[in-house]
Amino acid sequence: MIKMKRLLDVGIKKLEESILEMGSLASESVEFSIDSYLQGQDSSKEALKKSKAINSLNDDINELAFELIARYQPVASDLRFIKSCFEIAYTLSRFGRYAYDITLVTHEFGKLKKCDKSAVEKAGKQTIKMINASLTAFKKRDAKANINIHNMDKKVDEIYKTFIAEIRASTKDEDIIITRGCSVSASLILRYVERIADHATYIAESVSYIKTAKKYRRR
């Protein structure tokens, strides 16, 4: 007897492969950017290239997922899979962008040879492990992996909090504490604000797409 394959399955398989390819690129890109920072290398051009390649895969995944919905009106686990692929692909595209942002630090501040980079090294290693673990969970459809990955995330949060606390505790000089606090806080907030501004343009571009079908690449 001929075993019929659902037409939708071909698309779902392709989506899975594309997510895994994108995940592998994103993980590699994050690792590359952290290594570049640790070694004081300005790798922003290469990181930008990688980010664009990841974004391009995100576009392909969006196109395919969109097509599968339009053609097959998937339901149940098929629909949940496709919805998750949209979200995962977007998240992976953010990894590529953050990796590029990391390389910009060396590009803007130089090699930073005298800096203690151990916290970044530790958090970076843990984060790369998390990316790979989450991709393995996706591949195996392991519904329980999120508990372990959630615990791994707590360690990264802890490294960040400890690092901030250590900045404060590293001197008793009030002026230095204030100056550092001002610089670090303003840098962090400006970065977030700058990203929010970028995303505001994405909303406007999405509106344009609704009306004109013109597609914009995420940056």
Partner 1 sequence: MSNIKLKTESLNAMFNGQKAVDDVNLEFPKNTITALIGPSGCGKSTLIRTMNRMHELTPATDATVEGKVVLDNKNIYDSDVDPTLIRRRVGMVFQKPNPFPTMSIFDNVVAGLKLNGLRDKTKLREICESSLKGVALWDEVKEDLDKSGTSISGGQQQRLCIARTIAVQPEVILLDEPCSALDPISTSKIEQLLTELKKQYTIIIVTHNMQQAARVADTTAFMYLGKLIEVGKTQKLFENPKEEMTENYITGKFG
Q: Residue 152 and residue 178: Cα distance in Å, rounded?
A: 32
| Interface region with partner 1, contact rule CB under 8 A, candidates 35-43, 69-77, 136-144, 200-208 | 69-77
Q: Is residue 102 within 8 Å of residue 34, measured between CB atoms?
A: yes
Sites for partner 1 among residues 2-31 (CB under 8 A): 6, 8
Residue 76 found at the interface with partner 1 (CB under 8 A): yes
Please tell me whether residue 75 binds partner 1 under the rule CB under 8 A: yes
Compare residues 6 and 150 and give the one whose CB is closer to partner 1.
6
Beta carbons within 10 angstroms of residue 11's beta carbon: 20
Out of 11, 23, 74, 96, point to the residue binding partner 1 (CB under 8 A): 74
Question: How large is the angle between the packed helices 76-109 and 44-72, nearest 10 degrees?
Answer: 170
Q: What is the DSSP string of 79-107?
A: HHHHHHHHHHHHHHHHHHHHHHHHHHHHH
Site string for partner 1, 78-97 (x = CB under 8 A): xxx-----------------
Residues 170-209 binding partner 1 (CB under 8 A) are: none
What distance in Å separates the CA atoms of residue 167 and residue 19, rounded to the nearest whole number?
A: 39
Report yes or no: 153 and 161 within 8 Å, Cβ to Cβ. no
**Minimum CB–partner distance for residue 8 and partner 1 (Å):** 7
Residues in contact with partner 1, shown as a per-residue x/- string from 28 to 67 under the rule CB under 8 A: ----------------------------------------
Residues that bind partner 1 (CB under 8 A): 6, 8, 73-80
